[in-house]
Amino acid sequence: MRSSAYRRLLVLLDGTERGERALSWARHLVRGPGSAVHLLMIEPAARMLGVGGRTVAFVDQLEDAARAAARAYLASVAGRLREDGMTVGTHVRFGAPAPVTRAVIQELDADVLVVTDGVIRRPDDLGAVPIPVLTSGPRCLRSA
């Protein structure tokens, strides 16, 4: 198996088939011992849900439900990648995509961010990202 310059790939997913197109890049780019793919879903920060002045759901309840759904989805995707022999980590975060993505890049010391067009609406939505950003399309959004 040939080695790759990328050891820690961060793949930003949104739970859609379209978003999963980024996985083809991940399969191609992650090679060699010690390489890992990290799957990230970012959910919007929850707010208390009220109806008619009554609280129907609290933030922690909403986030717990969103976290459980995201984890289940990521577990399914990670399972398919593990069947291909890849080392996979999964991560669910809440907040605005740009700062959360930058924080996870730093936390994981990621080498490259892989994302499908549509998961991030515009390249500028991410702001300054210190690593290459690849899309599942034929172009690189931005290279560090």
Which sequence spans correspond to the domains of the chain?
8-142
Dihedral sign computed on CA atoms, order 99, 21, 69, 84: negative
113: its two tokens: 């961010």
pLDDT at 109: 92
136 Cβ contact list (under 8 Å, min separation 6): 21, 22, 24, 25, 114, 115, 116, 117
122 Cβ contact list (under 8 Å, min separation 6): none
Rounded to the nearest integer, the mean pLDDT of the chain is 81
Residue 78 has pLDDT above 70, yes or no: yes
Supply the pTM of this predicted model: 0.82
Higher pLDDT, 120 or 108: 108
Top-level class of domain 8-142: alpha beta
